[in-house]
Amino acid sequence: MSRPDGWRGPSEPGEFPTLGFQVIDWIEANCVIPDGADMGRPFILTDEQYRFVLQHYRLHPDARADRKRPSAGFVFRRSMLVRPQKWGKGPLSAALICAEAEGPVLFDGWDADGEPVGRPWPTPWIQIAASSEDQTANVYRALLPMIQQGPLCDRIPDTGLTRINLPGGGFIEPVTAEGRSRLGQRITFAVHDEPHSWLKSNGGWTLADTQRRNLAGMGGRSVATTNAWDPAENSDAQRTFEAAGPDVLVDYPSPPTGSFRNKRERAKVLRFVYGDSSVDRGGWVDLDRIEAEVEELAGKGDLAQAERFYGNRVVATSDAFFDTEMWEAAADPQQVPDGAMVALGFDGSMYDDWTAIRARWIDGDRLYAFTPTFADDTPTFWNPADFGGEIPRGEVQAAVAELFERFTVVRFYLDPELWQSEIDDWAARYGQKVVVQWPTYRTRQMAAALERLKTDVAAGNLAHDADPVMLTHVRNARRVRRSGGIVIGKPNDHQKIDLAMADALAHEAACDARTAGLTKPTQPARVLVL
């Protein structure tokens, strides 16, 4: 007997309705460990895996079952799990595939006690998607023995090397970006394996978008499991993370801070990211072996890859201009008082790139970097995509006027491209010695300014406001070697660096202002009394 009024309500703080408990019970009763010394024993989820499954199958408290809309009632239409290599993403994905093939994964109403009731798909069509056949094998190789070596072998006897036929006409198959997933396929569930490598260039974007449309047509859902991504590549994993959709679950516990170069601090990171899967906590991952893998990669000059794969950190490749770890270590958010002495940097665009203003608070011998705000805490950067494809020039002018009114601006360095008229007006209003054109195309000067910024961060001479957008632009900045020195460039059109450029100009403006004596306290006039 179903309850017309939905869920029974929480019996303890933080509780929510979910089909996850039924799915977990089904998995642990039917799935087995696919390899290793415990092969064939019941597959028991770790606490981390347990929590993820509960969230993926989370329900709205007032959900209503609808057989014509299989996804009805679920809070999330898809999920992404971000964990390091060897954490157990492949076996967990295989277990979820088994559940989606035969288990109670669809919401079917509430029982008389207000508990959710699940039912299986009548004809499931499940795909394991990856950018290559080798990657689909990560999950498929775990899936086959999970079925063949346990209770499911009698119910799913037709398990081939390229396809598993399910009772009732359903099936499970691997698909790749090379082969593409044809539009219109009536899939009910998909596992997206390692979408950190799903790029526009290798067809990963197309595969992801096509599969999501196919799932939407059937009311199906998906789970993506991935390592941390390289922020320069704009992978499907990164797009999912940055979109921050309210109906998309992203399970990515932020790793602790600390230098990955330092063995002791790295050990803390590894213990955190491997959690329940480490041998020390009853799991299968030998952290000493992981440490050896990290050391080997570091010895080959690829510490960034080791940090992504094993430290589960989003870090750029070795051609990054800035040391992201050092930049993050310099974070010290503070309130900049009105009237403070500041220098400003401006990098402008109109249609494609962003327009940005960054600032330096000059507090005696100390410099503090921040993104100033205007008009009730609106940050001073503008993405043309947010304004119909064109930077709102009037709003930028209003922001500059407010900054000069609020702070004591001693220098303002501006790249003049596309903003010459506004710069002339600002120079006439605030003074030509304050508002200074600073073309960023001058390679020698730009390279020197960037090097000074990077050196001051490394030396601990600069604190900043921990602006997350600025951090993204710092991560995106790539080394570009030109005849006059090394400057920065963006890895692709999507990955912007405009805040980093503006920050370099603000830093140069502040340092030049100090050299010119503009930041010294004004001495009171001396009066000679006879």
Query: Residue 126: helix, strand or coil by DSSP?
Result: strand
Q: Which residues of 406-432 are buried (b: 16+ CB within 10 A; e: fewer)?
A: bbebbbbbbbbeebeebbeebbeeeee
- Show me where the domains of the chain are located: 20-251, 263-316, 328-515
Q: How far is CA 507 from CA 446, 457, 504, in A?
A: 12, 11, 5
Burial of 148 (C-beta count, 10 Å sphere; 0-12/13-18/19+): middle
Q: How far is CA 370 from the centre of its chain?
A: 22
Q: pTM value?
A: 0.70
Q: What is the assigned CATH class of domain 20-251?
A: alpha beta
**pLDDT by 10s per residue, the chain, length 530:** 445 578 999 999 999 999 999 999 999 999 999 998 999 999 999 999 999 999 999 999 999 999 889 888 999 999 999 999 999 999 999 999 999 999 999 999 999 999 999 999 999 999 999 988 888 888 999 999 999 999 999 999 999 888 999 998 999 999 987 655 567 789 999 999 999 999 888 889 999 999 999 999 999 999 999 999 988 788 999 999 989 899 999 999 999 988 898 999 999 999 999 999 999 999 999 999 999 999 998 887 778 889 999 999 988 776 789 988 889 889 999 999 999 999 999 999 988 899 999 999 999 889 999 999 999 899 999 999 999 999 999 999 999 999 999 999 999 999 998 999 999 999 999 999 999 999 999 999 999 999 999 999 989 999 999 999 999 999 889 888 888 889 999 877 778 999 999 999 999 999 999 999 988 765 544 544 44
Longest dimension (CA), the chain: 112
Residue type, 106: L
Backbone angles phi, psi at 432, to 5 degrees: -70, -20
- CA proximity to 159, closest of 169, 145, 174: 145
| Distance separating alpha carbons of residues 202 and 365, to the nearest angstrom | 50
CB distance 501 to 440 below 8 Å: yes
Residue with tokens 């190789």: 141
| Distance separating alpha carbons of residues 223 and 190, to the nearest angstrom | 7
**Long-range pairs of 72-78 with CB within 8 A, sequence gap ≥ 24:** 72/107, 72/219, 73/107, 74/107, 74/221, 75/247, 75/249, 76/221, 76/247, 76/248, 76/249, 77/216, 77/221, 77/247, 77/248, 78/212, 78/215, 78/221, 78/222, 78/223, 78/224, 78/248, 78/249
- CA proximity to 194, closest of 139, 273, 243: 139
CATH 3.30.420.240 for domain 328-515:
yes
Q: How far is CA 205 from CA 184, 195, 307, in A?
A: 17, 9, 25
Topology agreement, domain 20-251 and domain 328-515: no
- Pairing verdict, β 106-110 and 116-119: antiparallel
